[in-house]
């Protein structure tokens, strides 16, 4: 099992550009989520999904879109990048929302100039 994979590992964008952060898991987990981590702020939930076809907003959803067309994939789209979106982004999955453990991908370090 590869676990949770994320691409790219690093990305630099200019203000106004759009891009998609990829996340995939091969553990047949129903629950997937995206977090951003900023110094002094901890991990904040952006969007999450409790199963294919179902997504919902977390604490900081503005400026981001998600979709969940398959169980395996949960891409995060930045619509028009802003410097405030400079952060480390983590994708995570778990068997379901009540499961004991979330498995995290290695993260994507995004810089918006």
Partner 1 sequence: RKEVEQDPGPFNVPEGATVAFNCTYSNSASQSFFWYRQDCRKEPKLLMSVYSSGNEDGRFTAQLNRASQYISLLIRDSKLSDSATYLCVVNGGNQFYFGTGTSLTVIP
CA distance 108 to 54: 24
Q: Give whichever of 16 and 54 is closer to partner 1, judged by the CB atom.
A: 54
Stretch that binds partner 1, among 18-26, 62-70, 75-83, 105-113 (CB under 8 A): 105-113
Of the candidate residues 35, 76, 110, 112, the single one contacting partner 1 (CB under 8 A): 35
Q: What is the DSSP letter of 27?
A: S
| Least spacing, CB of residue 26 vs partner 1, in Å | 16
Tokens 């553990």 -> residue: 27
| Distance (Å) of CA 104 to CA 3, 5, 82, 108, 109 | 8, 8, 25, 11, 14
Residues 6+ apart with CB under 8 A from 98: none
**How many residues at the interface with partner 1, by CB under 8 A?**
23
Residues lying near partner 1 in the complex (CB under 8 A) are found at 31, 33, 35, 40-45, 48, 50, 56, 58, 90, 97-98, 100-102, 104-107
């Amino acid at each position: 099992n590869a676990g949770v994979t994320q691409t790219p590992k690093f990305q630099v964008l200019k203000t106004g550009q759009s891009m998609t952060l990829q996340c995939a898991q091969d553990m047949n987990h129903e629950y997937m989520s995206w977090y951003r981590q900023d110094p002094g702020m901890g991990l904040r939930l952006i969007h999450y999904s409790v199963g294919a076809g179902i997504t919902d907003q977390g604490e900081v959803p503005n400026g981001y879109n998600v979709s969940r067309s398959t169980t395996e994939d949960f891409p995060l789209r930045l619509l028009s990048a802003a410097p405030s979106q400079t952060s480390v982004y983590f994708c995570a999955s778990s068997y379901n929302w009540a499961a004991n453990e979330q498995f995290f991908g290695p993260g994507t370090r995004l810089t918006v100039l």
